[in-house]
Structure 1
Amino acid sequence: MDRLRNTYSELLQPKRRKMNCCSRKCELSTLYGLSIVFLGLAILTLAGWEKAYNSIIFNALTLTNTSKGYNMWKKTPIPMYLELYLYNWTNADEVIASNFDIKPNFQECGPYVYEEVHTRVNLKWHENGTLTYQQKRTWQFVPELTNGSLEDEIVNVNVIVATVAYNVRHSSFITKAIVNRFLKVMNESLIVTRSARQLLFEGYNDPLLDFASSLNISIPFNKFGWFYGRNNSETYDGVFNIYTGRTDLDLLGMMDLWNHVPHTNIYEGYCDYVNGTTGEVWPPVKHVQKVAVFSPDICSTVWLSYEQDVSMLEVIGRKYISTNFTLDNGVLYPELACFNYGDPVPTGARNVSACKFGAPAFVTLPHFYLADDEYLQNVSGISPNKSEDEFYMILEPNTGIPMAVKAQMQINILLEPISGISLLNSVKSTFMPVLWFRQTATLTGEYAGLVRLLLNLPHIAIYTGYGVLCLGIVILFIGIYVTLASRRKEETEALISETT
């Protein structure tokens, strides 16, 4: 019986050894194969992550029918608000009676807040990597965010009278006599009292508008209101042509043409050209010290300068702010002298009369912030403040995605003595503030999460690459260890077999 057991054991032993040998080879082949695969993947990941990341960024940001950047640009994806402040001229009668020996005093009313949505329409794609479109802006009144009511009565300068007088200031004596006579017959005044609703979007009638057209003063509206005819209009802002970034990501969002030409035909030289972006789409700005924003509201470009890096929603952005360069007209920076349209004015104001249908309109920052002291010396009730009046944008440097925007400007009407126009014979040259506006938008948590994911892709790729590399090395060492252990075991078994 014992012999049978031994014989049976001997018969089974070679087979068991053969099976173990085959299993060990399979194990080693698998280990070395996995090691090669993981090491190869790690090398490909670490060597190619930058190219892959750049491709992801390019495809995400460029404006194409399917890109994420396009979907965010075509219609405003985040809440945007327009805050409007109207200046109430509190001592108008006294100032006029004193022939402007008394300073005009102003009381700020508002804000009257509207939710704003931008929609791009009538899109046309071009082979040269540009896109033509029109912009429809929609405003919806938000009473719960408003201080006051749209029925608030506001007293301020009569813009229509000021516009007609400004346009005939260099005309013949006969023309000015006709205008002066009409103003008297129609009982026009230098001041006007209207509700906030009328002054902003609703507008109001004035027979002087029809008379202006007979003098070849082109005011294409039958009512006056600062935003009259703009709500839901696809044509008011003009026709834009911008670079999609397809040919060069550094050109993404940059203006090429406005109303089919590369200039505005208002200013001289460089100042007349369409520059910068419209503010919604930007190229990467990580090495940019000044950014340019083209605004159809003022038919020109303003520049913001880098101030500092800031953190918002765990994303680092570059903050660009308004400086005394932003609205200079050559007084401080000679290269901006081409913005002098018409008679020169102190620094800090830009003449936009040709952009505002001939009205003597000048834009400044709110409360004459960063403007020459002369503007403030001629009025009272207004005080500038950096934190309140600063125009700024915060842009994520690697993608150019706007994280926060506070775009704001003030509109002022120039009153100056004009011989032959009795309403203006005795006025003192004064820039009368009429309103200022603030447009705000802030990146939401949802979109900030997408930005963080986009920015973290290189770290994810590197960590993944090194993780896979480590795994491949560990598996390789396991394979080497198993191989050496197997050889040692075989040598030991062989030595035992020789000894016995």
Structure 2
Amino acid sequence: MGCNRNCGLLTGAIIGAVLAIFGGVLIPVGDNLIGKAVKKEAVIVNGTTAFKNWLVPGSSVYREFWIFHVLNPSEVMEEGAHPKLEQRGPYTYRVRYLPKENVTEGENGTITYMMPNAANFEPALSVGTENDTLTVLNLAVVAVPSVYPSTLMQSVINTWVKSSKAAILQNRTVKEILWGYTDPFLDSIPFPNVKSFVGVFYPYNGTSDGPYSVYTGADDITKTAVIESYKHGRTLSYWKGHCDMVNGTDGASFPPFVKKDQVLRFFSADICRSIYAVFHSKQLVKGITLYRFVVPREAFASPAEVRDNYCFCTDPELSENCTIAGLLDISACKAKRPVYISLPHFLHASESVLHSVEGMSPNEQEHETYLDIEPVTGFTLRFAKRLQVNLLVRPSTRIDEKAEMFRTKISSRLELLSMLQMALMIGGSVLFLAFMGSYFICRSKKLK
């Protein structure tokens, strides 16, 4: 009886030991099997899971737009008051639903393609329609001083501004603001190379971005989806030094086996630069553990705080000797138009920028950019790229839409007052001379 009990215990111990050893052996074996499976399916080669999702996104991608409506246009234009802004939106569009075009295999384990651009309005996901009218900056008038800095040219353009009755603020529909409209001011310029169609994202629909050349990962899994070249180059010609480099992937995926201590770099054509994200937290989505990486405050910090950002400072005068944070001047890649990129509501921007307008409420949870990545495959399952497009309004001594308003509203009243003063002076003088003349005539008669 004792032997049976002891034998049973010994047998159980042996079985447990065997299972433990077997389990320990299975860990590296399992990891190896998983690694092989991932390496087989994560490379961008025709027939793999990664290729299918790379060619056409497996889920819908939406772009939501919020537009700042100016509540006090009269005070801004007539008194120079700070704009009071009200956020309107979202106006939602489905994007990236077309397959990549001109896909060809390149050299050195790369694949080349063009990214087609298309945006389809989604009424069910929007606060209103594309025909909602908002008061916004006049894109053409604001851009002129930057595009044509010459004093002589601005004097000539000033005539066309007046003839078109253009104002610095205007009413436009959401569709016009985003995708374009024929501007009467630009339409009045008699130059053959001046395009009269203007919009914040014009041209977009029907265009393509690229060509991109990315590594497939077949030769080196650590390079999967990393951009080898963009528009046939490794640099952009917009910035100086390392800021001009095209780094990382396009953000849709990363090389497999992502670690928390990694810095994930990706290129965004929207902001004409490469940027990076750092680990923030774990997220659980439908039972899948994801790593959330966020674009940190340091990415938009001033060079005074983060030295590596020195080459993003393009105008020391406007940036107060490169000490202003939170704004990125991308005019170099926008045909010299004064376009500045920031995080929504000037999140992480300098106080002077934040307080230049009324109605800003920056909030990290709502306004930061993040990527939720499945760490084994490197696939980005959720991506919130949050950006704000701003236009710099520069003063111009020659383009005097504001000065014309001043003459109309103020100078005309001063001229009227001067005329009244002159009339009173002349009338008073005439009456004085007439009465004095009559007085002396009457007095001379009495003396006689």
TM-score range, shorter chain: 0.7 to 0.9
Tell me what 1:60 maps to.
Answer: 41
Corresponding letter in the other structure for 2:199: G
Aligned counterparts of 1:278 and 1:291: Cα–Cα separation in 2: 11
Tell me what 1:375 maps to.
Answer: 353
Equivalent residues in 2 for 1:145-224, closer than 5 Å: 145-169=125-149, 171=150, 173-201=151-179, 203-209=180-186, 214=191, 222-224=196-198
Aligned counterparts of 1:425 and 1:370: Cα–Cα separation in 2: 35
Aligned with 1:347 (options 325, 341, 346): 325
Corresponding letter in the other structure for 1:153: T
The offset of 1:357, in angstroms, is 2.3
Tell me what 2:119 maps to.
Answer: 139
The offset of 1:43, in angstroms, is 12
TM-score normalised by the chain length of structure 2? 0.78
Partner SS state of residue 88, structure 2: strand
- Percent of residue pairs identical: 26
1:47-83 CA distance string (max 9 Å, x none): 7544443221111000001111000110011122111
Aligned counterparts of 1:43 and 1:414: Cα–Cα separation in 2: 63
Aligned counterparts of 2:45 and 2:136: Cα–Cα separation in 1: 47
Tell me what 1:121 maps to.
Answer: 101
Q: 1:416 to 1:42 in 2, by over 3 A?
A: closer
1:69-99 CA distance string (max 9 Å, x none): 000110011122111111111112211211x
Aligned counterparts of 2:132 and 2:200: Cα–Cα separation in 1: 16
Q: Count residues in correspondence.
A: 377
Aligned counterparts of 1:44 and 1:192: Cα–Cα separation in 2: 71
1:267-322 CA distance string (max 9 Å, x none): 00000011121111211321543212211112111222211222222222211112
Aligned counterparts of 2:28 and 2:173: Cα–Cα separation in 1: 66
Aligned with 1:298 (options 271, 286, 300): 271
The offset of 1:414, in angstroms, is 0.6
The offset of 1:165, in angstroms, is 1.6
Aligned counterparts of 2:23 and 2:372: Cα–Cα separation in 1: 37
Corresponding letter in the other structure for 1:321: V
Corresponding letter in the other structure for 1:205: T
Tell me what 1:402 maps to.
Answer: 380
Corresponding letter in the other structure for 2:308: E
Q: 1:73 to 1:45 in 2, by over 3 A?
A: same
The offset of 1:248, in angstroms, is 1.4
- Give the alignment's Cα RMSD to 1 decimal: 2.5
Larger displacement relative to structure 2 (334-343 or 58-67)? 334-343
The offset of 1:232, in angstroms, is 3.8
Tell me what 2:280 maps to.
Answer: 307
Contact 2:135/2:171, CA 8 A, preserved across alignment: yes
Q: 1:260 to 1:213 in 2, by over 3 A?
A: farther
Tell me what 1:246 maps to.
Answer: 218
More contact order relative to length (CA 8 Å, sep ≥ 6): 1
Equivalent residues in 2 for 1:447-462, closer than 5 Å: none
The offset of 1:362, in angstroms, is 0.4
Q: 1:399 to 1:425 in 2, by over 3 A?
A: farther
Tell me what 1:358 maps to.
Answer: 336
Matched, 1:78 2:49: no
Q: 1:425 to 1:373 in 2, by over 3 A?
A: farther
Q: 1:214 to 1:304 in 2, by over 3 A?
A: farther
